[in-house]
Structure 1
Amino acid sequence: MKSIKKSTIVLITLVSIVGLAQASDKSHDSTWPQARFEINNYQTTSSVADVAQFMSALQKKDKALKPYQPKNAPRTTETGQPLNAWRLAATGKDPLRVYINAGIHAGEVEGKDAMQIILRELIQGKYPEIRQSIEIVTLPTYNADGADAQDPLNRRHQPNPAGGVGPRENVFGIDLNRDMMKAAAANTRWMLAMYQDFQPAAVFDLHTTNGSYHGFHITYEPAWATGGDAPLQGLNRRMLTDVRAMMLKQGMPTYDYGNFRFDKDKKIVGWESAFSSPNLVSNYPTLQYALGVLVESYVYRSFKERIEDNRLYVVELLRWLAANKEQVKREQMAAKTRWADQWKINDARLPLRTEMTLAETYTFEVVDPIKDANGQIIGEKSRTKMDLPAYVAFKAVDEIRVPQGYLVDPAYAEKLRPILEAHGLNVLPGSARPRGEALMYFHETERNIAKDTFQGVFTAQIKGQWKEQMPEKRAGYAWSNETLDKAIYVPLNQPLGRLGFYLLDPRSADGLVYWGYLHAYYARGKGMWGEPPRQPILAVGSAAANYTSESAAGKPERVQE
């Protein structure tokens, strides 16, 4: 009896070893497609055509992988470069949908190349728990213009393949990772169409850092956009903290994206995050009730290492989502319900801005680098461990009651309607406005038109408050009942009302006023003689007679963690 058990154990062991060997050899099996960088030993990164060729070959292995085109989306950039995306269906029922964006900055290529490996591994069956629970859409060459403009002179401070990498911006000089709200580029309109068509529960955006000297292989950031649902943002942060712990067990140090904070004597006194603006791809998801993740590989690691770091980290994110699928879905629904509940008591509130706040104290490795003439690290003088306060969370401040909705002057309707609808907002005729509600006019207290352009725009920062009284200065054109009916009305009592507020309120730090869509009114120069035009946006509802920044200062701050 003992001999039978022993032989059985030996047989099982041999079968297991053979099975593991077969699984590990699949990626090197000549019958599986190889990415361009694998074929030429990491001498070049992939072009748009390279990725398309790889995916076409991979489709022959699994028909569940298909080209993906959102409804009503541009198929190409403005120069005709294809926006090629792929969709890999899950094997299980009711999957969580995840969109993975890569190559938005065409010099940051690791994510683009890692996604090819990840999809191949999923189809090979390496991560069955992910494949069962997660449906993926990915566009690896999001900045398709830049993806093919590879040059060894781009981003010389990072170790690149011999063939070079692409430029940061698109062909018009637009940083696509600052375009989510204004949606000036075809790429952004593609992504907004993807939100409406695919409705992702999570969005990853894969990048490479620009030069901080730290000991992390990957830095990350959750979706911190101003006005996102706080508990949903809390789940977003917990996901990344959980994954941080898992990656550390695997020998990969990761932490929140950011940089060291210095005092006036250039002494390191902390670590701080960067942005909470929804114009970033990874922040915008929170206004669509999705989780968001900024993934930044460490710029000074080798090209091959950066691809592998991306692969490992993205897979671990997907594992977490697969294991917590039902909780993510519940929290998304709860966030929508919380917004709807505020309207039931007519007390919907949103913050005008956020501020960085202390999240924890953490042990950091401060690298003292040795660099070559191009800025690449060729060695290290030392690494110093420091316990530092980490300002990697944001708190909401200047919380105000929001109006019932906004009326947009019919003169601007055809200009703004396509953008508002692209974001998924329900846009109604002005005649559909609630008739019993007061019309509110914006009283400016401060206007700052930028002296230099950002994204090609002289941005406008506006301060003030809504009042029922008309401003003292007479307008050359009056709002009439006929004008009001011909206007477009955007109610905020809708699922994406948060997003509508930040797009249309003149005080928004990232709205359409800020981005110059209404400069004919908000940026009139000294050479404009006559009476100004009427205000292009009116607020509807007495709730708009809200607190100014000063009156809100005494109210308790809600912390988004």
Structure 2
Amino acid sequence: MLAFLLSTLLSVAAVAAPPAADWRTPFEKGNGNTTTTHAECIAYYQRLDDAYPEITLREAGTTDIGQPLHEVVVSLDGDADAASVRRKNRRIVFIQNGIHPGEPEGIDAAMMLARDYVQKKELRRQLADVTLVIIPIYNVDGALNRNATTRANQNGPEQYGFRGNARNLDLNRDYIKQDSRNARAFAQLFRRWQPDVYVDTHTSDGADYQYTMTLIATQKDKLHPVLSQYMTQRLLPALYGGMEKRKSPMSPYVDFEGRTPDARGLQGFLETPRYSTGYAALFNTIGFVTETHMLKAYTPRVRAQYDFLDLLVRAVHQNAAPLAQARAEADQQLLTQARFPLAWALDTTAVEQVNFRGYEGKTKASEVSGQPRLWYDRKAPYTRAINYYNTFRPTVSVARPVAYLIPQAWGEVVERLRLSDVQLRRLTRDTVLRSEVYYIADYKTGQRPYEGHYLHTKVELRAEQQAVAFHKGDYVAYLNQPAARYLIETLEPQATDSFFAWGFFDGILQQKEYFSDYVFEDVAAELLKRDPNLRQRLDKLQQATPAFAASGAAQLDFMYRQSPNYEKSHLRYPVVRWQGGSLPVDSR
């Protein structure tokens, strides 16, 4: 009888026991070719937050569509305070997903990764000295604009988000100009965490080849040398070797000139600061862009993203002390670095070889046009050594100033400096300072808008020493701060992604006062009578340039620009390089 009662009680208990929690992600519950929606993604992270003290989900700003940008922090002791985590000497790995929501593998992979890193004992050990920060979906705007057609080259998933955000901006061109609220929220979040390593997950376009995963690493020559050494000698070998062991071999990003990758070889990708990893490098953060191949099935692409992220956390954990030392050295050396490159060019004389696993590119007649078209023959795979060009040389560099002086009138620039945690001080009184100023001698402007701007390139400068009047409240950015490289690459007009290049200072490019030729003819004649040297300069220009000699308007314009009537502010860049002594600034 006792045995019967015990058996009955156990049977009832078994029936009454609640079912085990189902922690499968929406991707894992699907058919292998579906991706989570934005609502499902945030709800899943909220479940993790509710169930595990190691996981924190919170809002980290807003986006152009009005929805919040979220961050997820995975920390073994539950510490989600950035300053506190850094004081504990933990390495911070920052994972950003869904900047292009039509490329969603990283979104699904990161959800599984966060879950596994708190549920699996072996994985939890990797977080002993590493904290994970995850942006579940960065381009919330595009994620809400779901469709099944806009990724014309891509093999699944069944539905996905759109590349552009609510303002039709490509957010991976917005890290410097920060037109979007998304980018402004990101800058504050990124600078608050100051991550050691940053990952931006993507899906590739382009050629067909055997790899599921390709990788853009921060360009080694423009990353700080000690960090570059750490990345190339420790991180990259661990990542490439680990992916090979997991039977998902990886290649450098397949960027090339020519018909196929093996025609001329691969080229390194120069991610300037408009891009995510280019922005990260300004603050001595190692960056990676993962690019899974668009034509592979969706499930292997998600698995490749998961494997890469897992291997990265493991590698950072295993080499945490050398990474901390390299980063500290880079930050310290930045404070005394004398010259800074502003632009780079590929060195085609420096070449290495990589074994590339591709498919033969062949030609056949197009069924559309009848003309020859390229196709990749998957029945003709190959592995062969091809050239890899990944050395870049500085083409423009500049000496470090003591500080930049920024008139308060340029509020949009000041706002962006603050978002990137630049330390600014303000003049306490009106003052006239003699210092180096730039004049824009020449530049070229694109004929079509690019991400909402008409970009300026090939900028040429003329430097002068001038007495410049500044006003109480104008800003001073000293260069003895962690944001020194960011300041130089945004405030030096010749830098590839400077604020000038993006059009923030276009007001200086237009004259505000002019002259009537019939009036100024007499003024110019009087100037020539009083100044024999000016007369000689005009004569030389007339003799050397027939077109100038034949144009009365051109000669009168030349005279106007030499006269006291010509406004000195025309083409004068308003940010001043300060190389002198102390300035009357506040104590902040």
TM range (shorter): 0.7 to 0.9
Alpha-carbon distance change, 241 to 355 in structure 1, aligned in 2, over 3 angstroms: farther
Aligned partners of 1:462 and 1:506 also within 8 Å: no
Q: Equivalences for 1:450-529 in 2 at 5 Å?
A: 450-461=446-457, 463-465=459-461, 467-470=463-466, 479-480=468-469, 483-522=470-509, 524=510
Contact 2:227 2:326 in 1 (8 A): yes
Q: Structure 2 CA distance, aligned partners of 1:376 and 1:409?
A: 55
- Measured against aligned partners, the alpha-carbon deviations of 1:42-82 in whole angstroms (never above 9, x if no partner) come to 35311111011111222233111111344xxx2x2122122
Per the normalisation by structure 2, the TM-score is 0.77
In 1, Cα distance between equivalents of 2:230 and 2:429: 37
Which residue identity is paired with 1:82?
Answer: P
For 2:313, the equivalent position in structure 1 comes to 318
Question: What amino acid is the match of 1:206?
Answer: T
Alignment of 1:190-269 (within 5 A): 190-224=185-219, 228-238=223-233, 239-262=235-258, 268-269=263-264
Cα deviation code 1:239-275 (max 9, x no counterpart): 1233102221222211221323328x99702111222
Instruction: Report the Cα distance in structure 2 between the residues aligned to 1:301 and 1:363, rounded to whole angstroms.
Output: 20
Segments of structure 2 that go 5 or more residues without pairing to the other structure are: 1-18, 79-87, 516-565, 582-588
What runs of 5+ residues in structure 1 fail to find an aligned partner?
Answer: 1-28, 343-347, 471-477, 544-561
Q: Is the 8 A contact 1:219 1:296 kept in 2?
A: yes
Instruction: Please name the residue that 1:411 is paired with.
Output: 409
| Bigger mean CA deviation after superposition, 305-314 or 454-463 | 454-463
Contact 1:37 1:46 in 2 (8 A): yes
| Cα distance between partner residues in 2 of 1:58 and 1:140 | 13
CA distance in 2, matches of 1:491, 1:484: 17
Contact 1:273 1:391 in 2 (8 A): yes
Is the 2:265–2:389 contact (alpha carbons within 8 Å) kept by the matching residues of 1? yes
Q: Name 1:80's counterpart in structure 2.
A: 66
CA distance in 1, matches of 2:367, 2:300: 22
Q: Following the alignment from structure 1 to structure 2, what is the Cα–Cα distance between the partners of residues 338 and 41?
A: 52
Cα distance change on mapping 1:451 and 1:223 into 2, 3 Å: same
* Structure-1 residue corresponding to 2:546: none
Counterpart contact for 2:440–2:573, Cα < 8 Å: no
Q: Deviations over 1:400-433 (max 9, x none)?
A: 3122222222321x22211001111111214599
Once structures 1 and 2 are overlaid, which stretch shifts more, 216-225 or 507-516?
216-225
Query: Which residue of structure 2 lines up, in the alignment, with residue 551 of structure 1?
Result: none
Q: CA RMSD in A?
A: 3.1
CA displacement at 1:376 relative to structure 2: 13
Q: Which residue of structure 1 aligns with residue 151 of structure 2?
A: 155
* 320-329 or 394-403, larger mean C-alpha shift: 394-403
Q: How does 1:290-439 map to 2 (within 5 A)?
A: 290-342=285-337, 348-357=338-347, 358=350, 360-368=352-360, 380-412=378-410, 414-430=411-427, 438-439=434-435
Work out whether residues 300 and 376 of structure 1, in 8 Å CA contact, stay in contact via their aligned partners in 2: no
Checking the alignment, whether the CA contact within 8 Å between 1:369 and 1:380 is kept in structure 2 is no
The 3 A distance-change label for structure 1 pair 225 and 408 is farther
- Say whether 1:167 aligns with 2:162: yes
Q: 2:579 corresponds to which residue?
A: 541
Query: Bigger CA drift: 97-106 or 129-138?
Result: 129-138
Matching residue's letter, 1:248: E
AA of the residue aligned to 1:141: I
Q: Distance in 2 between matches of 1:501 and 1:464?
A: 16
In structure 2, give the amino acid aligned to 1:257.
Y
Instruction: Classify the secondary structure of the residue corresponding to 1:84.
Output: strand
Encode CA deviations 1:198-253: one digit per residue, 9 max, x unaligned.
22111110001012222222111222398542221232233123310222122221
Length-normalised TM-score, structure 1: 0.80
State the Cα distance separating 1:333 from its structure 2 match: 0.7
Amino acid at match of 1:277: T
Query: How far apart are the structure 2 equivalents of 1:38 and 1:261?
Result: 38
> How many aligned positions are there?
492
Q: Is the 8 A contact 2:216 2:269 kept in 1?
A: no
d(CA) in 2 for partners of 1:228, 1:432: 39
Aligned mates of 1:332, 1:373 — CA distance in 2 = 55
Alignment of 1:269-284 (within 5 A): 269-284=264-279
